[in-house]
Amino acid sequence: MDTGISRRQFLELGAATGAFVLTNSPGRDAIWAQDKVAIPEADRIVVTVVTDNLADATRPNVKIARRPAGAKSVLDGAMHAEHGLAYHVETTVGGQPHGLLFDFGTQASGVLRNVDLLGLDLGKVEALALSHDHWDHEAAVVEVLKAKQGALAKGLPFYVGEQCFVGTYVKRPNGQVQTLSMLNREELEGLGLKVVEVKAPTALVPGAYFTGHVPRVTDYEKIPPTFLAKRGEQYVQEEFPGEQAVVMHAKGKGLVVLAACAHRGIVNTLKHAQTMTGIEQVHAVIGGFHLTGAKPEIIAKTIADVKVMRPEYIVPTHCSGFETLAAFAREMPDQFILNTAGTRYTFEA
């Protein structure tokens, strides 16, 4: 008997489990009152980091990390790296595989090169998802999707968080304010995509959910004042209310959390993943922790709180920062994996 989930059943499940309401608590970070999201257990999860800040053609396989290989020559197999992040995710639920693209990097030619080198089958992609409206996660998306229109299914959903297209900015040391947004809704819809804005935990494909709004519960994970939002003609502190991470449930192992930049805090993101699913065990954390340039005491507090969750694997990427990578490697050597562009992580029951 086929135990796979049909697209219709999946959407009905997502609608049922994604119904959230706010409590009466005041403030922008009011905790969500919810029934737990019953994420289907995945028999297999494969996360491929299509591009990231670091490439290393000589890096060996380690633990669950498999580096790209098999090119005709060393030069032909060289992976593209950049200040950007892009993922390909495959979940297998009930014997049926489901594909997802999560974030899209910066330089389209490099991202497309990596997609081809990695042999990713975009014909099996069922959804596209963007973590937040920053150039290093979205600048390549339109060109990549245009180049792969023949492979991608028509009318795919494109999931984004709230306030994704209102604009986000940064204040440089010289006082200049620059936009960080490189995308608008009309461009996506012009490609035949269905833009879906989410606020609560939402199913992307069977076995993978967006977090919805991540409450800030730690006292040390603060958003730098250099990040700005525009309200009318005034610039105000950016709070990233709609930034999303992806949460999955590896059968018999626990949560696999895939972050992008975690501007609202990687510990806050992990705590929210535990709360939204009712699953305490965090099996693996992969993603940007946005701790580049962070004070040593902030990095230390982050590591201390992650240690309490006892993940089997910790893979800081992209904007985590050298000091953070070095500290995790020192403090959690058995769990730490250094990521490189093109690395594939497989979680199987």
Please give the Cα distance from 246 to 57 (Å, whole number).
28
Statement: residue 151 has pLDDT above 80: yes
Beta strands per DSSP E along the chain:
21-22, 32-33, 44-51, 65-66, 86-93, 96-104, 125-129, 157-161, 169-171, 177-179, 194-198, 202-205, 208-210, 227-231, 234-237, 246-250, 254-258, 282-288, 313-317, 344-348
pLDDT for 6: 52
pLDDT for 129: 98
pLDDT for 73: 74
Candidates 161, 209, 162; CA nearest to 34 is 209
Measured CA to CA in angstroms, residue 71 lies from 48, 59, 111, 117 at distances of 17, 15, 17, 8
φ, ψ (nearest 5 deg) of residue 245: -120, 165
Please give the Cα distance from 157 to 197 (Å, whole number).
10
Statement: residue 30 has pLDDT above 70: no
| Average pLDDT of span 113-121 | 96
Fold of 7-348: Metallo-beta-lactamase; Chain A (3.60.15)
Residues of the chain with pLDDT > 70: what percent? 89
Please give the Cα distance from 258 to 2 (Å, whole number).
29
Candidates 127, 312, 317, 115; CA nearest to 207 is 127
318, 261 Cβ separation under 8 angstroms: yes
| pLDDT tens sequence across 49-107 | 999 999 999 999 999 999 998 666 777 889 999 999 999 999 999 999 999 999 999 99
| pLDDT tens sequence across 154-206 | 999 999 999 999 999 999 999 999 999 999 999 999 999 999 999 999 999 99
| Average pLDDT of span 269-298 | 98
Higher-scoring residue by pLDDT: 181, 3: 181
pLDDT for 77: 82
Residue 14 pLDDT grade (very low, low, confident, very high; cuts 50, 70, 90): very low
pLDDT for 34: 55
Please give the Cα distance from 305 to 255 (Å, whole number).
16
Starting at the earlier edge strand, list the strands of the sheet with 234-237. 177-179, 169-171, 227-231, 234-237
pLDDT for 69: 85
- β pairing state of 227-231 and 208-210: unpaired
| pLDDT tens sequence across 213-257 | 999 999 999 999 999 999 999 999 999 999 999 999 999 999 999
| pLDDT tens sequence across 297-330 | 999 999 999 999 999 999 999 999 999 999 999 9
pLDDT for 71: 67
pLDDT for 26: 37
Statement: residue 345 has pLDDT above 90: yes
Statement: residue 16 has pLDDT above 70: no
State the pTM of this model: 0.91
